[in-house]
Structure 1
Amino acid sequence: DRFKAVNDTAGHAAGDALLRELASLMLGMLRTTDILARLGGDEFGLLLPDCSVENARTISERLIAAVNDYHFIWEGRLHRIGASAGITMIDASNNQASEVMSQADIACYASKNSGRGVVTLYEPQQQRLQHSRDALPLDEQWRMIKENPMALVARPVVSPRVPESTSFLLLSVRLWTSEGTVMEEQAFRATINEAELLHALDRRVVHDFFRDHAADVARKGFGVALPLSAGITGPRLVDELLDFLDAGPFPPRLLHLVINSDAFEKDARMTSRQLDRLRQAGCHIILSHVGRDLEIFNHISRAVADYVMLDPEVVTNIHTNLMDEMLATIVLGHTRRLKLICIAGPVNQPMMTETLAGIGVDMIYGDALAPGQPLGLLLNSSYFAIN
């Protein structure tokens, strides 16, 4: 808590030094079996193996007290910060990485909403407060989209049978609140209720990519997939995309656009028309969140899409849930009939890769294959693509 004030008043070098000192402080208070990691920004994650909820609360309260009492001196000036914590129990019935992280995150926000400096244990009813994550104030949502830092994070999309070979990079968005807290794309989108905000977020993603990364991506030869949250029926977005492609060095064949399949429910005719314009220009279309509503296949054809991406809810437990495996097989059958390519993820453990490969899914992505990396960092490496 209050970490942003250190960055703003003393600079990023001071903030980096403070994070290193706090990491050392916390490590010195933990058991040798505990695992501490920086998640991003000023957020840390802590795994406490073989630890009861009561002991986890005690450990967390000790850490918070130590951070609250810590005196950080930079260039002769004293800075005071604090901490808040959220806890969730990992057990046989609650062991999916994405779910566990989400639960701990929700509990952390509950702590901040309770006045900071406290520990909150995740309870299912807190899920209803996620939109209160709160409802980030409307002006803060606009600031995050229009003014605050934003990063594109890349994950390779690969064949489950040849995971060393990347087909293209799937991009996601990482945003910063005005307090300096990092929010992942899915969590931020969940707080937005206004279509205008979603359209603005899409335009920011497109503008940032073409301004900061398109030329380097073109030189490397990577294919990339940009996520668009509001579909492609918003004002000016497709026109701007086509203008960027006409004006710059980025070949349309490298550009994949991820469109939520519910765009067809909102306006099937306009969605089909816009997708056709993009495909005529040479872009590739990925329809995401295809799963339990099989009616979507009444709208999908080779004329509007190249890929179908399974809904993450279908994939999360696919290695342990026969019904999800059967549903994925049905979706794959429709995809094959239409001669489209099927993508699944996020894959968070090797057993999921084996199950998806056995079903016959064409491509997968997820942290079990390769963790997400900032696109700028990836482009500064020596890697290049052949296509």
Structure 2
Amino acid sequence: MSLRVKLFLPLIVIGMLMIAYVNISWLPQFTDFAEARHKQQLMARIDAIGQKMAPLLAKGQRRSVYDSLGKLLLDNSEWRGVRLLDTNGKQLYRKETKTKRLPQSDAVYTLRQPVSHAGKSLGALLVTVDTTERLRAVHELQRYSIWVFLVILLILTVTIAVIFEVVIRRPIKALSTASARLAKGNFETPLPEPGTDEMGTLVSTFTSMRDAIQRYQSDLSFQTTHDPLTGLVNRREFERRLEVALNVTRSELSEHALLYMDLDQFKVVNDTCGHTAGDEFLRQLGAELYRKVRKHDTLARLGGDEFGVLLEHCPAEQASRIANELLETIQDFRFVWEGKSFTLGVSIGLVPITGHSGSLSKILSTADAACYAAKDAGRNRIHVYRDDDSTLVRRHGEMQWVPRITEAIQEGRFHLYYQLIVPVSGEEEGVHFEFLLRMEDEDNNIIPPRAFLHAAERYNLMLGLDRWVTKTAFQWLQLHPEQVDHLKLCTINLSGHSLGDADFMQFIIKELKQSGIPPEKICFEVTETAAISNLMKAIRFMSILRDLGCRFSLDDFGSGMSSFAYLKNLPVDYLKIDGIFVKDIADDPIDYAMVKAINEMGHVMGKETVAEFVEKEAILWKLREIGVDYAQGYAIAKPRPLIEMDSGFLLNQLRLAEGGG
């Protein structure tokens, strides 16, 4: 039932009740009142006539009285008859009109008025009155009054309806329509002008509520599609726009481009000045990049220190120019925080988007791979993807290792091997070996680490592998105390990811305490590159564990440009000379000189040296000649499964290795 019906129905009922009340109660009462008043007036008049006739009757002048009564009968249209009685009730005079004699009724009645003079009764005057015509006029007036009342009621009802329509129903309907559209997200529905009454207050309140919801939805929409730190488009919205651009490319044969940018060495800012400085760096850089891109392009922060740019309707050549401009912008950007100045580079992967580009996920994956190809090529450069891109093909091959590594961990298909490390001098010092990691594939073939470690490092799987190797090695040593008795030192390799992880350091300390293994028999080996790229964290990591008694070895020493500059800051005990110099030492005088220089530098700094890749006897002789402390390689002993190790076998291998030397 509509609001209009709900209002009009009570009005109609009230009107009908009022009509019934007027017709049944008020009008009859009015008629009775008018009739009684008329009778009073007649009685007063008859009384006046009686008083006027009384002196004449007292004098016996009856004829004059009769003439007066006859004349009165003729002058009063309602009078139907007049009678004059004496004191005994004898009729003295009677005269009636010539109309048909009417029976007594409410309309025909007789009024009796006593006549006296000087206190003496002279008789009575009786007047018969017929009020039929007057009552008919009264009833006609009643009907007219009812019609007038109905017209007034109708006018009142229509007036109320119009007022209700304009003041209440239309604004409410407008608010209802606006509410329905508001629920669908349409905020443009016009509303009535608010007045000063209660309805105006309601309209004003609704308008305020609508505006507040619109602002909230706008803010929520912005938060949903934009990065809260930089205010740039976020990854989700970027991918949506990229999907739209991809569909347009397929339908219109247009060409777009995607730039995937990753800042180089951004963690230096965080590590040096804290994450607050890092956030401010990203805010300022985001604003600077936003000023450089075209208005119809999309710049987004994809997460961490990664940015993306969607270049719409942009050929590859133009996209390359824009990428170079952004590269130069980031190179020239200088960030200052608390007196410290930072200048970073960026690695950019550029992927043209055409109708043959494939799915959204493939484009993003390709762009990510192109970006990391730029990093692998030396950072701070652009890698443009092409269909015959051999670099990305190799990287795609690395990506295939990720699920295989994860499955191997879950299914227990990783195994520990060991390889002996012996003193070049031949003097027996006890057993010294290195734990090596091998993976068993689905066909039970053993896979060497060079096949999967690079992928594990790139895709952040090394921390899990380092935990597995450390825990498994400690458990084996704990279960073989006889091997620990003959053990001088065993080496466990750690990745750069683990060096920067405080939880991993606590994990090692906990495992050492639980296993009861003497810390001085444990040596952790890290690559020179990993140590230098995480220098401060590496120094702290090494210092804490060395205080417990553990030792450290620096692997692949000499492969970096800054090896000697950083060496004095690293608390290591052993330098493992990079095998690239060792394997040709017997034939290449330059390699011989390099190994000799590294060995002498290490000894000057109080560190022992280990030569790897010792694959023939001639190399071992050259190492003795130079004075290297330890040797490791196929000429000494090949890697073997850890489960094959026992005391007798190990000591026999050690004697064979020393005898061969």
Mark the CA change 1:263 to 1:383 in structure 2 (over 3 Å): closer, same or farther.
closer
Any idea what SS the aligned residue of 1:178 has? coil
How far apart, in 1, do the equivalents of 2:494 and 2:441 lie?
20
How far apart, in 2, do the equivalents of 1:128 and 1:326 lie?
38
Equivalent positions of 1:82-101 (< 5 A) are none
Any idea what SS the aligned residue of 1:191 has? helix
Give 5+ residue unaligned stretches, structure 1: 1-125
Mark the CA change 1:312 to 1:382 in structure 2 (over 3 Å): closer, same or farther.
closer
Give CA-to-partner distance per residue, 1:355-377, whole Å, 9 cap, x none. Answer: 11111111101111122222221
Q: What's 2:515 paired with?
A: 248
Any idea what SS the aligned residue of 1:162 has? coil
Any idea what SS the aligned residue of 1:241 has? helix
Indicate conservation of the 8 Å contact 1:146/1:204, yes or no.
Answer: no
Q: What's 1:83 paired with?
A: none
Q: What's 2:414 paired with?
A: 150
The AA in structure 2 aligned to 1:259 is V
1:350 lines up with 2:614 in the alignment: no
1:177 Cα deviation from its structure 2 partner: 2.1
Q: What's 1:173 paired with?
A: 437
1:380 Cα deviation from its structure 2 partner: 5.9
Q: What's 2:591 paired with?
A: 324
Q: What's 2:468 paired with?
A: 204
Q: What's 1:54 paired with?
A: none
Q: What's 1:80 paired with?
A: none
Q: What's 1:27 paired with?
A: none
Q: What's 2:637 paired with?
A: 370
Counterpart of 1:218 (choices 461, 467, 484) is 484
Mark the CA change 1:307 to 1:294 in structure 2 (over 3 Å): closer, same or farther.
farther
Q: What's 1:141 paired with?
A: 405
The AA in structure 1 aligned to 2:490 is V
Indicate conservation of the 8 Å contact 2:415/2:437, yes or no.
Answer: yes
Indicate conservation of the 8 Å contact 2:528/2:560, yes or no.
Answer: no
How far apart, in 1, do the equivalents of 2:433 and 2:393 lie?
33
1:339 lines up with 2:606 in the alignment: yes
The AA in structure 2 aligned to 1:228 is L
Any idea what SS the aligned residue of 1:152 has? strand
1:222 Cα deviation from its structure 2 partner: 4.7
Indicate conservation of the 8 Å contact 1:227/1:259, yes or no.
Answer: yes
Q: What's 2:500 paired with?
A: 233
Any idea what SS the aligned residue of 2:562 has? helix
Q: What's 1:311 paired with?
A: 578
Give CA-to-partner distance per residue, 1:183-203, whole Å, 9 cap, x none. Answer: 112332133343521111111
Indicate conservation of the 8 Å contact 2:430/2:487, yes or no.
Answer: no
Give CA-to-partner distance per residue, 1:196-217, whole Å, 9 cap, x none. Answer: 2111111110111122333414
Any idea what SS the aligned residue of 1:210 has? helix
Q: What's 1:192 paired with?
A: 456
1:249 Cα deviation from its structure 2 partner: 2.2
How far apart, in 2, do the equivalents of 1:146 and 1:194 lie?
20
Indicate conservation of the 8 Å contact 1:289/1:309, yes or no.
Answer: yes
Give CA-to-partner distance per residue, 1:33-61, whole Å, 9 cap, x none. Answer: xxxxxxxxxxxxxxxxxxxxxxxxxxxxx
Indicate conservation of the 8 Å contact 1:275/1:285, yes or no.
Answer: yes
How far apart, in 2, do the equivalents of 1:177 and 1:148 lie?
11
Give CA-to-partner distance per residue, 1:225-247, whole Å, 9 cap, x none. Answer: 11113352235221111111112
Q: What's 1:271 paired with?
A: 538
Give CA-to-partner distance per residue, 1:79-110, whole Å, 9 cap, x none. Answer: xxxxxxxxxxxxxxxxxxxxxxxxxxxxxxxx
How far apart, in 2, do the equivalents of 1:200 and 1:323 lie?
39
Any idea what SS the aligned residue of 2:405 has? helix
RMSD, matched Cα: 2.8
Indicate conservation of the 8 Å contact 2:528/2:557, yes or no.
Answer: yes
Indicate conservation of the 8 Å contact 1:154/1:172, yes or no.
Answer: yes
Q: What's 2:288 paired with?
A: none
Give 5+ residue unaligned stretches, structure 2: 1-389, 655-661
Which deviates more from structure 2 when the two are superposed, residues 131-140 or residues 329-338? 131-140
1:348 Cα deviation from its structure 2 partner: 0.8
How far apart, in 2, do the equivalents of 1:306 and 1:335 lie?
9
1:164 Cα deviation from its structure 2 partner: 6.3
Indicate conservation of the 8 Å contact 1:213/1:376, yes or no.
Answer: no
1:154 Cα deviation from its structure 2 partner: 1.5
How far apart, in 2, do the equivalents of 1:218 and 1:158 lie?
17
1:345 Cα deviation from its structure 2 partner: 1.0
The AA in structure 2 aligned to 1:318 is I
How far apart, in 2, do the equivalents of 1:253 and 1:377 lie?
24
1:253 Cα deviation from its structure 2 partner: 0.8
How far apart, in 1, do the equivalents of 2:594 and 2:399 lie?
34
Any idea what SS the aligned residue of 1:223 has? strand
How far apart, in 1, do the equivalents of 2:429 and 2:484 lie?
19
Mark the CA change 1:127 to 1:307 in structure 2 (over 3 Å): closer, same or farther.
farther
Q: Greater RCO between the two (CA within 8 Å, min separation 6)?
A: 1
The AA in structure 2 aligned to 1:336 is H
How far apart, in 2, do the equivalents of 1:235 and 1:301 lie?
23
Indicate conservation of the 8 Å contact 1:343/1:363, yes or no.
Answer: yes
1:250 Cα deviation from its structure 2 partner: 0.8
Mark the CA change 1:267 to 1:245 in structure 2 (over 3 Å): closer, same or farther.
same
1:293 lines up with 2:566 in the alignment: no
Any idea what SS the aligned residue of 1:180 has? coil
How far apart, in 2, do the equivalents of 1:195 and 1:127 lie?
17
Any idea what SS the aligned residue of 2:534 has? helix
1:162 Cα deviation from its structure 2 partner: 0.5
% same residue: 18
Equivalent positions of 1:62-73 (< 5 A) are none
How far apart, in 2, do the equivalents of 1:287 and 1:275 lie?
11
How far apart, in 2, do the equivalents of 1:365 and 1:306 lie?
17
Mark the CA change 1:380 to 1:147 in structure 2 (over 3 Å): closer, same or farther.
farther
Mark the CA change 1:328 to 1:204 in structure 2 (over 3 Å): closer, same or farther.
same
Structure index of larger Rg:
2
Q: What is the TM-score of this pair, normalised by structure 1?
A: 0.61
Q: Which has the higher helix share?
A: 2
